[in-house]
Amino acid sequence: MKNLSNDVLEMVAKQFRVLAEPVRLQILQCVGNEERAVGEIVERIKASQPNVSKHLKVMQEAGILIRRQEKNNAYYRVADPRIFDMCDMVCGALKKRMETRAKVLALL
């Protein structure tokens, strides 16, 4: 990590904050590499429609999702699939940490 200014760090933190909500991660996972309508997402993740709409807006404004309007449906897709790699990295770190902890406990 090159020496980033506080302004940049604040922008980076804001990006992380968008990913710091379980429901938004559910939405991301639900959308995957497809393009999905709002109603479809609402149905799949079982959250209220206004709540999903709000989260979608947050992710769109953060540049994580791209919105397309057609007829009276709105479709969303992931802007950059590398976001899934990030989630996998975190997930992998968590897994490793839990395995290590399990080994320690096994020695007791």
- 31's CB contacts (< 8 A; 6+ apart) are 41, 65, 76, 77, 78
Q: Which does 58 bind (CB under 5 to 8 A by kind): its own copies, DNA, none?
A: DNA
How many residues at the interface with its own copies, by CB under 8 A? 38
User: Binding of its own copies at residue 51 (CB under 8 A)?
Assistant: no
* CA angle, residues 8, 78, 46, in degrees to nearest 5: 110
Q: Which is nearer to DNA, 14 or 99 (CB)?
A: 14
Question: Which residue of 39, 54, 68, 94 would you call a contact of its own copies, by CB under 8 A?
Answer: 94
